[in-house]
Amino acid sequence: MARPRLISDDTILDATRQVLAELGPAKLTLAAVGARAGLAPPTLMQRFGSKRGLLLASAARSSQLVLLAVAAAESRNTSPLAALRDFALSSVAHVNRREELGNGLGFVQLDVADPEFRAHALAHSAAIVDSCARLLTAAQQVGELKPDADVPALARLTLVCFNGALQVWAVNGWGSLTDFLRDQLDQLLSPYLTE
C-alpha cells in the first residue's frame, strides 16, 4: 500500500514558483525546491519525473492560478473595473525586487523555444485575455466603460500593458511595481471610461 502524500502537489508547485523567482529556471534545482517544500529530491523525481516535468507542471498550473486570482478579485469588488485592477495588482503584490521578475522572465525563453511550455504560456495568456474581456464586458454593461469600446481589442491590450509593464519595471524599477502597473493600466483604460 502506498504511503499517503503529506505534502500536496500544489504546495510543491508553490515552492517551485518561489524558487523560480529567486533563481530563475536555469538555476532552479530539485534540491532547492525540495528544501523549500520539505521533500527530498528523489520524492520530487518520483512525482514529476525530472526538473523539466516539475517546470511543466508549474507552467500548466499558471492558467488555473489566473482564474483563481480573478475570482478572488471579483469577490472583493463590486465594480468590474475595480476587480480588473485588483486582479492585476494582486498578481504582482508578492514581487519585491526587480531580480525576481528578471528570473521569472527566464521562463519566456522556454515558452518561445519549447512547444510544450509554449502551449502552457498560450493557455496562461488566454486566461488573462478571456478574464479581462469578461470584466470589461461587465464594466460596459454597468456603464463604467463606453458602449463603443472594442472589448476584445482592449482585453488584448490589457495583456500587452500588463506584460510590458512587468518587463519595463524589471529593467527600470520606477517606483513600486504596483504603483507603476496601476499607472499604466489607468492610462490604458482612461480613454474608454465613461464620464
What pLDDT is recorded for position 104?
A: 80
Residue 94 in domain: yes
With beta carbons less than 8 A apart as the criterion, state whether 92 and 177 touch: yes
Q: How many structural domains is the chain composed of?
A: 1
- Report the distance separating Cα 59 and Cα 51, nearest Å: 12
pLDDT along the chain (195 residues), means of 10: 73 95 93 96 95 96 97 98 98 90 85 95 98 98 98 98 94 92 97 93
What pLDDT is recorded for position 3?
A: 55
Residue 6 in domain: no
Residue 128 in domain: yes
Residue 84 in domain: yes
Which residue range forms the structural domain that includes residue 106? 60-192
Residues in the chain: 195
Residue 26 in domain: no
What pLDDT is recorded for position 6?
A: 82
Residue 168 in domain: yes
With beta carbons less than 8 A apart as the criterion, state whether 12 and 37 touch: yes
Nearest to 158 by CA among 99, 77, 70: 70
Residue 35 in domain: no
CATH number at residue 89: 1.10.357
Residue 51 in domain: no
pTM: 0.92
